[in-house]
A and B are shown apart, each in its own frame.
Chain A
Amino acid sequence: MDSILFKHFPPIDVKQWKQKIQFLLQGENYQNLIHIDSDGISTLPFYTKSELSKKIAFKNKSTPKPAFYCIVSKESKANSEALTAIKNGIQIIYFAIFNPNIDLEILLKNIDCDLFFQCYFLDYKFNSTPILKEKRSVILNECLGKISKTGNWHHTAKTDYSILKKSLHISQNSLNINLNHFHNSGATPVQQLSYSISQLLAYAKNKTINFNTTIYYNISVSTNFYIEIAKLKALRILHQLFADTLDINPNCKLIQHKSKRNLSGLFSAINIANYNTEQHISILSSVDFYLSIPPNFFFYKEDIPTTKTLVNDLKESNADYSIIEENLCVEKLTQQLVEKSIILIETIEKGGGYVEQLKKETIQHKISDNEKAAVSSFTKSIETVDLNTQVNIKKTTSAYPFLKFKKRKALWPPIVEKQLRETVERPIWEQHFKF
């Protein structure tokens, strides 16, 4: 059969191929087909072997597992939601907890499966609770995410590192790095990777982590297929590279969260379509866990799905990782992301490290500059359809759709999360809805 193909389609070299494209473009500039993103990374119209004389020695083949995202406001309600999810076939529950004094007996009643606890506090007593040790739990702890997001420590720098260090010696506790916070704030992929790894370096410098500590990265992706697949591959490579030098666990785990950056405040259909693509990308990237869409991401009462629907949506996702394996485009983009990230990480280190760069507000400014440019580019790129006429004003609002930021007294300005569509959608929301 090969001979038949070659007879009709003799192989051509890159030069001939480019000439053929030039001819087909009928006068349009070939350079216009090359997309250069805000990190200066170019996506070529086609990739050939000549683009890659080398590749990064790296293999990862995790099997992504779905986990149900459960916000704990009332213990009994969260318990009931978790049990419904389990009944519908979910084997991992991801609890988001805001209060260390919750009643874990009520929350975990009759629940026997793998559990995550994303804690929005840092509390040694909670971290060492016997019931969490008895269950198959992973408690996700961090403090550098807190200072990035709010400008304040949980307690003080010294206390936070100390609690973290003590907690990480208890088996069910793990370190959590929120790459998704940078993504949601509008940082470029290189910035997301570099700031996350810089946090890892800061924890290591403070001797918070030991070799047995498992590091979980919370990640979110945009719908930009190849660059996001490459980003997640680059994250694992960078983690492994730096872990080797720091003598920490080289294997990290990735947990995929719904992107807030991609959220539409007006159209649930856009959010669902985005969510499915994000999940598809994450599964193709072999993340370790992917979470259901949080119910508070639905801004109209009519659109809020049942737990069963959320679980079904979660389980429906599938993708074939093998199509990405050995893919030249992904490999090339990964190499560019890794190389550029290392340069930025080294610059941050020379500038005193992650916390110092936050204090100097360098990181905040860099993300903010990119965020504004992305919003401007998005606003220009969308079709000039009249969004106003598409809004269903008969719907009942259940939550304010745009990320709110309360100004608090802080040690330095926080990195603020912002939806890409907010500039376009907020005036329409304010015109039609009250909350």
Chain B
Amino acid sequence: MKIPYIKTDFEAMEQAAGFPPFTRGYHEYKFVPNIIPNTKTIITDFELSSIQPDAIFELFQDLENQITLKSTFYLHLNVACNFQLIIFTRVLRTLLSIFSIHKKNNSKIAKFHFIIKNEDTKNILTNHQYLQMSQVDTLLTNSECLFILNNTPKMHLPVDALYGSYELDRETKTIFSNVWGKISSHFNL
């Protein structure tokens, strides 16, 4: 039985981001999100209210004053867990890295620890996979979701599972372009 293989034309594949995931300015990815019960108090340095450019701009304004003070920041994201999250965290990490490089004079890139709260019991398994693909560090959840996650077979997802997705790259490029202009001009990046 002959499998109809064809030679892959990688040159034709558009890539928005010319860098692999490990160089997204992020150096301590733990491969799966830590799952923390919502009863536990966790550090939050900043909170991002949405994925809109204005909210991201506000975050960077807050961050500007503190970026030189610390090396690790805990960032709470109030955003939905879905496919868009993968794109959004990609964009955000890129922006944070560029910002960090500039503002810290290339000395040491700041680390950003992403935290997301999700208590959707119906979709917790799917959401957990999206969080993993988005390289989110901590999932804050309720006891019911925690129970479901603890009693479900563990998944073995690649770190950069969506590499090669044309749609993902295209969307990343679009969202990045929408935000980059305002941030780069204001902060002199």
Contacts and interface: CB of A to CB of B under 8 A. Distances in A.
Contact of A339 (B3, B126, B144): B3
A225 B147 CA distance: 20
Interface in B1-30: 1, 3-8, 10, 13, 17-25, 27-29
B154 to A, nearest CB: 6
Contacts of A10: 18-19
Given A48-B163, A378-B153, 5 more contacts: A1-B176, A43-B156, A54-B8, A320-B83, A322-B166
B97 interface: yes
B113 to A, nearest CB: 15
19 contacts: A1-B176, A2-B18, A9-B17, A11-B19, A46-B21, A46-B163, A55-B6, A56-B3, A57-B5, A223-B155, A273-B121, A323-B165, A323-B167, A323-B168, A326-B13, A327-B162, A328-B164, A382-B152, A387-B151
Interface stretch (A137-145, A274-282, A356-364): A274-282
Interface of B: 1, 3-8, 10, 13, 17-25, 27-29, 31, 83, 86, 94, 97-98, 101, 121-126, 129, 144, 147-148, 150-168, 173, 176-177, 180, 184
A55 B8 contact: yes
Contacts of A44: 158
A267 B145 CA distance: 12
B13 to A, nearest CB: 7
B101 A12 contact: no
A338 interface: yes
A17 interface: yes
B155 A9 contact: no
Contacts of A52: 8
A329 B161 contact: yes
Contacts of A241: 1, 3-4
A46 B156 CA distance: 11
B3 to A, nearest CB: 6
A225 B155 contact: yes
The 7 closest A-B pairs by CB, nearest first: A9-B19, A35-B156, A328-B164, A383-B150, A322-B167, A54-B5, A277-B125
A226 B162 CA distance: 10
Given A11-B19, A55-B6, A273-B123, A47 B152 contact: no
B101 A8 contact: yes
A409 interface: no
A407 interface: no
A371 B138 CA distance: 33
Interface string A302-337: 000000000001000001101111111101000100
Given A55-B6, A57-B6, A420-B153, A326 B148 contact: no
B6 A17 contact: no
Contacts of B101: 8
B153 A224 contact: yes
Contacts of B167: 320, 322-323, 325
A45 B159 contact: yes
Nearest to A279: B126
B153 A20 contact: no
Given A46-B20, A269-B144, A378-B153, A226 B161 contact: yes
Interface of A: 1-2, 4-6, 8-12, 17, 20-21, 24, 33, 35, 37, 43-49, 52-58, 222-226, 237, 241-242, 245, 264, 267, 269-270, 272-274, 276-277, 280, 313, 319-320, 322-329, 331, 335, 338-339, 342, 345-346, 378, 381-383, 385, 387, 390, 420
Contacts of A46: 20-22, 158-160, 163
B157 A226 contact: yes
A188 B24 CA distance: 36
Nearest to B168: A323
Given A45-B159, A52-B8, A326-B13, A11 B18 contact: yes
B22 A24 contact: yes
B162 A323 contact: yes
Contact of A47 (B17, B148, B164): B164
A41 to B, nearest CB: 11
Contact of A54 (B6, B17, B94, B154): B6
In the complex, which of the residues A57, A245, A323 has the most CB atoms of chain B within 10 Å of its own CB atom? A323
Contacts of B156: 35, 37, 43, 224
A270 B153 contact: no
A6 B98 CA distance: 11
Contacts of A53: 7-8
Nearest to A241: B1
A74 B44 CA distance: 58
In the complex, which of the residues A1, A9, A237, A242 has the most CB atoms of chain B within 10 Å of its own CB atom? A9
B13 A346 contact: no
A382 B168 CA distance: 33
A346 B161 contact: no
B126 A280 contact: yes
Contacts of A274: 125, 152
Nearest to A53: B8
Contacts of B5: 54-57
Contacts of A2: 18
A17 B20 contact: yes
Nearest to A13: B20
